[in-house]
Structure 1
Amino acid sequence: MKASALSLQELLAQAEGQDIVQVRAALDRAGMDLEDTATQVQDLHAKLLTTKAALDKIDGTAKASAAEQRAAEAAARLSTLIGDYASARLASAILSDVIETYQERHQEPMLARASELFSAITGGKFTRVAADFEEEKRVLVVVRDDGRRERIPALSSGRRDQLFLALRLAAIESHVASQGPVPVVVDDIVINFDDAAASATFKVLADLSQKTQVLFFTHHEHLLERATNALGTENFKAHAL
């Protein structure tokens, strides 16, 4: 492996207790080391075959002895590189597991909260947002109140907007909980929602406003009426610009 490559122990030490950005960087380096070592293995194997072929064509003179020495050195180097290649593959696999564990640990609580928000916005028509696997890749699915699972592309555009809003709000709540309040600014996000979904969304935003400031911009007077009907005038302040 190249001189700058990290050993398996060093890679694992870096992964232990580090944030996900550093782990991803370590995984990228392991991947590059893996490619570099694989190339060296291929090149050296070709060289070894060439040397052995040359050795077969010469007699027992000094040239044969030198060729045998080169073949032995190439074989020893190839053995070392194969060991390095195996270590790089193992490091890459372990770091991938670290990333997957991190994602599960941090995404599952956010998906649980997004499920609650999506259920609230849709009036209980959808009960859960979950991670599923499709061709070995994690994809989002939603679960209806009757238990049917649906892929995101199968949803109507309005439902997708509501789902993405639930996911964004769950991420914002997570950020506020860990980093502190930040203003949340939204612009006509319920314009394409029906009355029930719009009213539910205003209630969700009102709950969020207990944790951080929420600014809702709209050009539509009827949305002010919806907010008033959903929250009452005492739970928000309207300003005309």
Structure 2
Amino acid sequence: MDLQDTSAIVTGGASGLGAATARALAARNVHVFALDLGSSLKNAERADGITYLEADVTDPEAIRKAVQIAAANRPLRITVNCAGILPMARIIGRTGPHDSSLFAKVLEVNLVGSFNVMAISAEEMRKTDPDDDGQRGVVINTASIAAFEGQIGQVAYATSKAGIVGMTLPAARDLAQYGIRVNAIAPGIVETPMMDTLSDEVRTGLAAGVPFPKRLARAEEFASLALAIIDHDYLNGEVIRMDGALRMQPR
């Protein structure tokens, strides 16, 4: 796909995977719109070529407004969904059963939020002129290896990411008629601000479990894979693991 003079939306763009992806796209001369919550944007490290917009992925109207802004002056070709949350809770814990509202919240942000952004941005993409191969855009959603090997305490998170995996192929088939590709990346353990709450000892232990490279993944490696998917016009309907051959144990 030719990225010149196009625009892209990246959710969760204030930090972590989203920030790295936004910077990588901006380096390719894409006009990037990084969407995130206002509280996250306050602490975002700003970069050239990126417009930062406050938007909650669970609010379709807010996403619709952001998409309209992103598509106002250039064709919207790319959407990368990185927004997500990772609370931990067992089905039965010390205080009783898993809070059903927390379970619903994780699905709302991670799965429904990704669907909202994908559907609304795809509607805008289909209005653009196709390239010589009939392609109008590409959507990349973020799954997780937890979708396949969810650990103890990850029932809500693993379910939400399994939903991303299950959504990938039918979404690709739905949007094929408009020349829009849909893929997903399932990262392993990535060095992001979400990991900052863990001790060095825990982080070292996590890295030791990765066959090779024996370290945590870098957000820039996620961004590199996202660009590779965008560039590879024949990748469609795929979920790609990025985990150093890690297979998660129960805990």
TM-score of the aligned structures, taking structure 1 as reference length = 0.27
Higher gyration radius (CA)? 1
More helix by share: 1
Higher relative contact order structure (alpha carbons within 8 Å, sequence separation ≥ 6): 2
